[in-house]
Amino acid sequence: MDKNYSYPLDFSWSTEEISSVLSFLNQVEKAYENGVEAQALLDRYAKFKSVVKSKGQERQIDRDFEAVSGYSTYRAVKMAREKGKGVIRLGR
């Protein structure tokens, strides 16, 4: 996938909040590109949810991120929850 895309960020977030969101989105990318530990993704998701509290905003970020990257945060989190531990891969 072409890595020349913009992340769906809210610039009213603090630097720490932006870092938490980017860390989660990077884990989602890894899940699609190489595979990632399910628990690592879920840990980053928990930090992401401390920033993005509303389901509506979470869904919007997922739609925006999938539109530019082709990667679904929803599917990555769903698979990580189902597997619980070990490596998940969502690559095409």
Q: pLDDT tens digits for 66-78?
A: 999 999 999 999 9
Tally Cβ neighbours within 10 Å of residue 31.
27
Q: Is pLDDT at 1 greater than 50 in this prediction?
A: no
> Which two three-digit tokens encode residue 15?
């630097």
Q: Across all residues in the chain, what is the average pLDDT?
A: 90
Q: How far apart are CA 40 and CA 45, in angstroms?
A: 9
Q: Is residue 15 over pLDDT 90?
A: yes
Predicted pLDDT of residue 92? 59
C-alpha Rg value of the chain to the nearest Å:
12
Beta bridge partners of 53: none
Taking 90 as the threshold, does the pLDDT of residue 20 lie above it? Answer: yes
Beta bridge partners of 87: 37
Q: Which two tokens stand for residue 77?
A: 């989190």
Share above pLDDT 90 across residues of the chain, in percent, rounded to a whole number = 75
pLDDT score for 58: 94
Domain boundaries, the chain: 15-83
Residue 80 one-letter amino acid: A
- CATH architecture entry for 15-83: Orthogonal Bundle (1.10)
What confidence score (pLDDT) does residue 13 get? 92
Residue 2 and residue 19: Cα distance in Å, rounded? 21
